[in-house]
């Protein structure tokens, strides 16, 4: 313990001398005159008051240093995944330990004298109060996450070593060997389960799409592995709702090899559906848990209705019509103006109802004969959110476009000029990064220039503030900034303009240019797809956090809530209603995480397909809703390789400076721990400080001395 001062001790000495002088000066003469003893007593009181004040003003500190010895912590990481249930099934390597519970009891006894912190892990990590809290029903094994969690949670503690108890079947997260390379303490590994190959046939992998469309064939590839069985017939079945939709009968491959089986089906309705793959069960298998696997598929409606309006018949109209009709998911409605100067159409009347129209394509439209009523209906539909594609043509009435369509197109005719000039198609730098140009050899601009030239109207086009130019032109080898392809977005409304005509030539070119013509078909298809793709502008968005869910996984929903300006809001009430396969409806209240984020954990759910609806309210008013469906399946990932991985467990120990233990070596754990440099008692120097200017007894002494001086002066009648 030592006393230090924030300010110089010299100042304190000077202050003490001043206190002596001041006290002497005050009491050298008194009225009435006092005896020397009384004057010295009062002077001493005055000196003490002044000295204590000056002493505290120098901010004195008393520093104490004490030493504390802290025992190291042994972090016990226990694998709680489903594969642990196989660890002692006919295991020749389990020794005298008959069950996982017996092994845990042995670990508990061996570590009884240590300072232990217990963690259980699967996909995630949890802290356990005791070994009795261990379970074995989780669907993933993420060792790297478990090791990193221990390191971070005990970062400020005296972590000495980690005891990892697992079968080594790592199937989630990054490679744990990389974590072990830089681990701050040794990892001691204990491998449970049998590493010898036992007789089993299993589904090694199911490969299919997560998303498909009604009427489209969905391929499902199933990889089946044979371990130890003779070649014999097996049945591979694909079912939905208990109904078989495809199956194959194959012969098992030779032991130690795999068989790939291709199944297919065609969904006929929209929604989220769950499917199950099963293979035959044979007598003598290690487990039947890996003879089936479930997966879910989101089926969408891809059918779209396109209205093609042409100002007059032309080769471009015929060519574009063929391109659109080639897509079997497109219902095409065509209306072409007659050449007789009337506002009538060859194919019939202008559609009275545009509600079901997904895209409007204008080719040289409107023309000089188009009625204003038809133009107004197109504008109204576009303003309501319908995408619009304008393709230039010789019949187009640019004045009508300037007057009526400028607000719904990404360009407007600024200076209208008659006549056409030939030019090439040159993608811009922006185009190379845009989804519309996800085509063959998209960066090779020369291949576009090699195509026949297009006819460009000499009108000067002005791009809107939301428009983006994806292609310009080249005339006689000179690059011109005049746009050919322009796209635009306002909110969730999309539009595009092709300011040229003559695209029909690209579909009727010599054989040596056929590969270049394919580029145009790909680009046109991408342009149509981009226009009809609906952007997510929902104010309330709620969905499960994980896409694939197992029966043992917690089902966690995440949500976001925005106002009309798409700014996140956090003070709303979000209620989530989940409908079970049985039809029962269960409500859950989502908790706000701030910044418009919401979350709720509804726990694990049984196998099946569920639907949900979320509603956000604020001050008794509804802000919006969202809904959807999700599927919970029985995954077999923990049983795809039902053998202990002793090599991985040895690598984790070796790379971190630890060692491996078997069950019959558990008694030696305390002795071997004590030999580790990291597992030694740590002596810490703990420094404490006492700030005397905040110390209450000094304030009390000041009050006592000042009060005593005042009392004596009063009694002696001093003035």
Segments in the chain below pLDDT 70: 1, 85-98, 195, 341, 442-443, 511-514, 535-537, 548, 551-552, 565-566, 634-641, 719
Indicate the Cα dihedral angle 380, 383, 385, 391, nearest 10°. Answer: 80
Could you please state the CATH topology (level 3) that the domain comprising 540-633 is classified under: Immunoglobulin-like (2.60.40)
- Smallest Cα–Cα separation from 692: which of 20, 10, 44, 12? 12
117: closest CA among 74, 155, 150, 160?
74
Q: What does the alpha-carbon distance between residue 572 and residue 450 come to, in Å, rounded to a whole number? A: 59
Pairwise CA distance, residues 685 & 683, whole Å: 7
CATH of domain 200-300: 2.60.40.10
Residue for token digits 């042994």?
74
CA distance 691 to 709: 27
The pLDDT, as a whole number, for residue 589 is 94
Whether 349 and 521 have beta carbons less than 8 Å apart is answered as no
Instruction: Quote the CA–CA distance of 202 and 219 in Å, as a whole number.
Output: 20
Neighbours of 635 (CB within 10 A): 23
Q: Quick one: DSSP state of residue 367?
A: B
DSSP-derived secondary structure for 588-644 = EEEEEEETTEEEEE-----SEEEEEEEEEEETTEEEEEEEEEEEEE---GGGSS-S-
Task: Give residue 462's pLDDT.
Answer: 92
Per-residue pLDDT reduced to its tens digit, 350-387: 988 898 899 999 999 999 889 999 999 999 999 988 99
553 burial class (0-12, 13-18, 19+ CB within 10 angstroms)?
buried
- pLDDT tens-digit readout, 232-261: 899 999 998 888 999 999 999 898 899 999
Q: What is the dihedral of CA 427, 429, 432, 434, to 10 degrees?
A: -100
Percent of the chain with pLDDT over 90: 31
3-state secondary structure of 435: helix
| Mutual angle of helices 36-57 and 9-27, in 10-degree steps | 150
| Domain definitions of the chain by residue range | 2-67+689-716, 72-196+643-674, 200-300, 304-532, 540-633
Torsion of CA 109, 666, 82, 251, to 10 degrees: -150
Angstrom distance (rounded) from CA 505 to CA 437:
20
Query: Which tokens go with 217?
Result: 């064939």
CATH number attached to the domain at 72-196+643-674? 3.40.50.410
668 in helix, strand or coil?
Answer: helix
Do 461 and 410 contact (CB within 8 A), yes or no? no
What pLDDT does residue 95 have? 44
Q: Are 297 and 211 in contact (CB under 8 A)?
A: yes
Closest of 446, 460, 535 to residue 494, by C-alpha? 535
Write down the architecture of domain 304-532 according to CATH.
Answer: 3-Layer(aba) Sandwich (3.40)
Residue whose pair of structure tokens reads 């972090």 in the numeric block: 75
Do residues 71 and 681 make contact, with C-beta atoms less than 8 angstroms apart? Answer: yes
The answer to whether residues 611 and 629 touch, using CB atoms and an 8 Å cutoff, is yes
d(CA 538, CA 519): 35
Angle separating helix axes 36-57 and 696-716, nearest 10 degrees: 150
Whether 486 and 500 have beta carbons less than 8 Å apart is answered as: no
- Report the pLDDT value the prediction gives residue 68, as an integer from 0 to 100: 75
Q: What is the pLDDT of residue 616?
A: 93
Is-contact 311 363, C-beta < 8 A? yes
Q: Which residues of 355-364 are buried (b: 16+ CB within 10 A; e: fewer)?
A: eebbbbbbbb
- 540-544 and 556-561: which strand pairing? antiparallel
Task: Tell me if domain 200-300 and domain 304-532 are identical in fold.
Answer: no
Give the separation between CA 572 and CA 592, rounded to whole angstroms. Answer: 8
Looking at residue 640, its pLDDT comes to 65
Instruction: Return the pLDDT at 96.
Output: 45
Residue by residue, DSSP assigns 511-575 as: GGGHHHHHHHHHHHHHHHHHHHPPP---SEEEEES-SSEETTS--EEEEEEB-TTS-B--S-EEE
Strand partners, 247: 237
Position 634 scores a pLDDT of 62
| Cut 0.75: pTM above it | no
Q: What is the DSSP letter of 132?
A: G
């Amino acid at each position: 313990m030592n006393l230090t001062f924030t300010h110089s001790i010299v100042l304190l000495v000077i202050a003490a001398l001043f206190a002596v002088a001041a006290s002497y000066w005050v009491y050298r003469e008194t009225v009435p005159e006092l005896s020397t003893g009384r004057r010295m007593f009062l002077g001493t009181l005055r000196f003490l008051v002044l000295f204590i004040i000056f002493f505290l003003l120098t901010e004195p500190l008393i520093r104490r240093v004490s030493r504390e010895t802290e025992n190291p912590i042994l972090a016990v990481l226990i694998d709680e995944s489903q594969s642990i249930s196989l660890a002692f099934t006919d295991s020749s390597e389990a020794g005298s330990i008959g069950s996982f519970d017996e092994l845990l009891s042995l670990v508990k006894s061996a570590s009884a004298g240590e300072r232990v912190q217990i963690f259980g892990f699967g996909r995630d990590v949890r802290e356990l109060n005791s070994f009795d809290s261990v379970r074995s029903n989780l669907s993933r094994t993420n060792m790297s996450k478990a090791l990193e969690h221990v390191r971070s949670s005990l970062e400020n503690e005296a972590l000495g070593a980690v005891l990892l108890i697992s079968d080594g079947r790592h199937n989630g997260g990054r490679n744990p060997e990389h974590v072990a390379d830089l681990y701050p303490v040794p990892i001691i590994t204990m491998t449970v389960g049998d590493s010898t190959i036992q007789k089993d046939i299993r589904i090694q992998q199911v490969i299919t799409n997560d998303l498909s469309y009604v009427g489209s064939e969905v391929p499902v590839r199933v990889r089946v592995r044979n371990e130890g069985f003779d070649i014999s017939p097996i049945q591979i079945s694909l079912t939905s709702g208990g109904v078989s939709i495809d199956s194959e009968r194959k012969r098992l491959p030779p032991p130690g090899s795999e068989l790939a089986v291709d199944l297919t089906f065609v969904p006929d309705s929209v929604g989220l559906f769950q499917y199950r793959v099963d293979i035959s069960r044979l007598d003598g298998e290690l487990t039947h848990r890996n003879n089936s696997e479930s997966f879910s598929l989101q089926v969408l409606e891809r059918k779209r209705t396109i209205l093609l309006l042409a100002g007059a018949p032309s080769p471009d109209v015929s060519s574009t019509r063929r391109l659109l009709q080639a897509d079997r998911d497109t219902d095409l409605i065509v209306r072409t103006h007659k050449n007789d100067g009337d506002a009538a159409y060859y194919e019939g009347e202008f559609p009275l109802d545009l509600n079901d129209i997904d895209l409007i394509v204008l080719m040289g439209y409107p023309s000089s004969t188009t009625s204003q009523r038809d133009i107004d209906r197109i504008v109204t539909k576009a303003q309501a959110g319908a995408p619009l594609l304008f393709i230039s043509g010789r019949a187009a009435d640019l004045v009508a476009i300037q007057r009526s369509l400028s607000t719904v197109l990404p360009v407007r005719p600024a200076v209208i000029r008659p006549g056409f000039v030939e030019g090439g198609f040159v993608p811009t730098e922006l185009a190379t990064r845009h989804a519309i140009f996800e085509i063959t050899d998209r960066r090779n601009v020369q291949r576009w220039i090699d195509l026949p030239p297009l006819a460009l109207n000499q009108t000067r086009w002005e791009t809107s503030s939301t428009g983006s130019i994806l292609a310009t032109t080249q005339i006689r080898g000179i690059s011109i900034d005049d746009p050919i392809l322009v796209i635009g977005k306002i909110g969730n409304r999309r539009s595009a303009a092709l300011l040229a005509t003559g695209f029909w030539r690209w579909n009727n070119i010599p054989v040596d240019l056929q590969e270049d013509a394919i580029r145009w078909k790909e680009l046109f298809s991408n342009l149509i797809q981009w226009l009809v793709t609906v952007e997510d502008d929902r104010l309330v968005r709620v969905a499960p956090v994980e896409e694939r869910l197992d029966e043992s996984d917690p089902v966690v929903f995440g949500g976001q809530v925005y106002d009309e300006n798409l700014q996140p809001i956090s003070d709303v009430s979000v209620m989530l209603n989940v409908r079970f396969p049985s039809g029962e409806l269960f409500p859950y209240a989502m908790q706000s995480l701030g910044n418009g984020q919401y979350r709720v954990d509804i726990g694990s759910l049984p196998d099946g397909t569920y639907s949900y609806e979320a509603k956000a309210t604020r001050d008794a008013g509804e802000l919006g809703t969202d809904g959807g469906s999700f599927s919970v399946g029985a995954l077999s990932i923990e049983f795809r390789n039902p053998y202990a991985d002793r090599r991985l467990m040895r690598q984790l120990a070796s790379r971190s400076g630890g060692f491996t233990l078997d069950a019959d070596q558990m008694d030696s754990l305390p002795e071997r721990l004590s030999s580790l440099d990291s597992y030694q008692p740590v002596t810490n120097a703990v420094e404490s400080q006492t700030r005397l200017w905040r110390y209450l007894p000094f304030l009390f002494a000041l009050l006592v001395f000042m009060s005593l001086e005042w009392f004596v002066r009063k009694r002696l009648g001093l003035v």
